[in-house]
C-alpha cells in the first residue's frame, strides 16, 4: 500500500499533485502514461499538463482520480475537491486559514488509528464491534447499540465493553447519552503471540461459521483458496494480506458517504500440510 501524503498539509492543488508524483516516481505504474491508462478518460499529455499546473483539473475527473490513483477516503476526497474548486477560482496561492471551506474540513479531519495491547476485554469481539458501530451516523447513543447488534448479547456484557472503551479513552459519552469516538480505528500489532489475540481470532472465526448458516447469500461473501507456496515466501504472503486489508478498507471508505451497516472481514492464511 502507498505511504500516502497527508493531504491536509496542503492548501495548493499543484503542490499536492506534484509531491504525489515525486513520491511515487520510482514505483511501477506511476508514470503519466500508466496513470492515464488506469483512468481511461484522459491522455498522458493532458494529465501531465494538469499535474504541472498548466491546465485546470477537470471537475468530472475528481471522483475517479481520488479513488483509482490517490486512494483517498470520502473525507479526503471532499478536501481534494475543495482544492480543485479553489484552483478554478483563482491562480493565487491561498492559505488554508483564508478559506472557510478548508478551515471546516481541517476541523473535522479524520481521527487517528491506534494499535493497542489486547487484554481480556478486547479479546471479546463484542468490544471491537461496538467501537466500530459508534462510527456510524445512525448510532448516536448506547440504546442504539443495544438494538443494532445482529447477535444477542447480554446487556451486561455490552455495558462492560462500553465502560472499557470509555475508561481507556477511546470514546466519550455525553450527559445526554450521546457517544463519540476519540480514535478512528483500533487494531492489534502484527505477528504478536498473545493468548488474548488468539482468543479474539477464535471468537471471530466462530462468528463467521454462524454467518455461513444464518446470513443470506446476498449479504455476505465467502471465498476459500488452497495454494502451494515456498515457505521462504510466507512473510511476503503476510505482507500482501496486510496490504490487501488496508486497501480494502480504504477503497470502501472512499465510496462510503453514510455507512448504515457494520461488517467483519476475516482473512485466514495457514498451513494444511506438515513441515
Same domain, 19 and 35: yes
Same domain, 32 and 80: yes
Same domain, 90 and 171: no
- Position 160 in a domain: yes
Q: Which of 72, 107, 142 is the last residue in one of the domains? A: 107
Same domain, 214 and 118: yes
Measured CA to CA, the distance from residue 46 to residue 93 in angstroms comes to 23
* Counted domains in the chain: 2
Given a contact cutoff of 8 angstroms between Cβ atoms, the answer to whether 132 and 113 are in contact is no
Q: Which of 173, 200, 221 is the last residue in one of the domains? A: 221
**Model confidence at 2: pLDDT above 90:** no
**pLDDT tens string 73-84:** 766 787 888 889
Q: What pLDDT score was predicted for residue 271? A: 95
Q: Which of 107, 137, 166 is the last residue in one of the domains? A: 107
Measured CA to CA, the distance from residue 66 to residue 78 in angstroms comes to 10
Q: What pLDDT score was predicted for residue 97? A: 45
Q: What pLDDT score was predicted for residue 227? A: 94
**pLDDT tens string 187-242:** 766 656 678 888 888 989 999 999 999 999 999 999 999 999 999 999 999 989 98
Q: For residue 117, give the nearest of 194, 203, 182 by alpha carbon.
A: 194
Query: What is the domain extent for residue 99?
Result: 7-107
Torsion of CA 74, 80, 181, 154, to 10 degrees: 10
**pLDDT tens string 57-74:** 999 889 889 888 888 876
**pLDDT tens string 86-99:** 888 765 555 544 55
**pLDDT tens string 144-199:** 888 888 888 888 888 888 888 888 888 888 877 788 888 777 776 665 667 888 88
- Position 245 in a domain: no
**pLDDT tens string 119-143:** 666 778 898 899 888 878 788 888 8
Query: Taking the CB of residue 25, how many other CB atoms lie within 10 A of it?
Result: 9
pTM, two decimal places: 0.59
Q: What are the start-end ranges of the E strands in 137-257?
A: 171-173, 179-181, 185-187
Cα angle 171, 179, 200 (rounded to 5 degrees) comes to 50
**Model confidence at 1: pLDDT above 50:** no
Q: Is 265 helix (H, G, I), strand (E, B) or coil?
A: coil
In the chain, alpha helices (H): 13-23, 32-39, 44-51, 62-64, 74-89, 100-107, 125-133, 142-146, 155-167, 195-214, 234-255
Same domain, 89 and 135: no
- Position 240 in a domain: no
- Position 119 in a domain: yes
Of 170 and 29, which is predicted with more confidence? 170
CATH code for the domain in which residue 183 is found: 1.10.10.10
- Position 208 in a domain: yes
Amino acid at each position: 500500500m502507498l505511504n500516502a501524503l497527508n493531504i491536509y498539509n496542503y492548501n495548493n492543488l499543484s503542490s499536492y499533485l506534484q509531491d504525489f508524483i515525486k513520491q511515487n516516481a520510482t514505483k511501477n505504474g506511476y508514470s503519466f502514461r500508466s496513470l492515464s491508462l488506469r483512468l481511461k478518460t484522459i491522455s498522458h499529455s493532458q494529465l501531465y499538463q494538469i499535474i504541472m499546473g498548466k491546465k485546470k483539473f477537470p471537475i468530472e475527473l475528481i471522483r475517479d482520480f481520488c479513488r483509482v490513483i490517490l486512494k483517498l477516503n470520502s473525507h479526503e476526497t471532499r478536501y481534494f475537491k475543495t482544492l480543485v474548486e479553489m484552483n478554478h477560482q483563482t491562480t493565487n496561492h491561498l492559505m488554508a486559514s483564508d478559506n472557510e471551506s478548508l478551515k471546516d474540513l481541517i476541523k473535522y479531519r479524520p481521527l487517528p488509528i491506534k494499535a493497542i495491547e489486547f487484554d481480556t476485554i478486547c479479546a471479546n469481539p463484542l468490544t471491537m464491534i461496538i467501537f466500530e458501530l459508534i462510527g456510524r451516523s445512525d448510532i448516536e447513543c448506547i440504546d442504539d447499540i443495544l438494538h443494532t447488534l445482529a447477535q444477542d448479547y447480554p446487556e451486561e456484557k455490552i455495558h462492560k465493553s462500553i465502560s472499557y472503551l470509555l475508561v481507556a479513552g477511546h470514546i466519550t459519552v455525553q450527559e445526554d447519552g450521546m457517544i463519540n469516538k476519540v480514535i478512528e480505528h483500533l487494531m492489534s500489532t502484527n505477528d504478536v503471540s498473545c493468548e488474548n489475540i488468539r482468543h479474539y481470532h477464535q471468537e471471530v472465526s466462530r462468528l463467521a461459521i454462524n454467518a455461513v448458516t444464518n446470513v443470506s447469500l446476498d449479504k455476505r461473501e465467502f471465498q476459500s483458496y488452497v495454494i502451494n507456496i515456498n515457505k521462504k515466501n510466507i512473510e511476503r504472503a503476510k505482507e500482501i494480506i496486510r496490504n490487501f486489508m488496508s486497501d480494502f478498507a480504504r477503497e470502501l471508505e472512499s465510496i462510503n458517504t453514510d455507512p448504515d451497516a457494520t461488517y467483519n472481514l476475516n482473512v485466514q492464511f495457514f498451513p494444511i500440510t506438515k513441515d
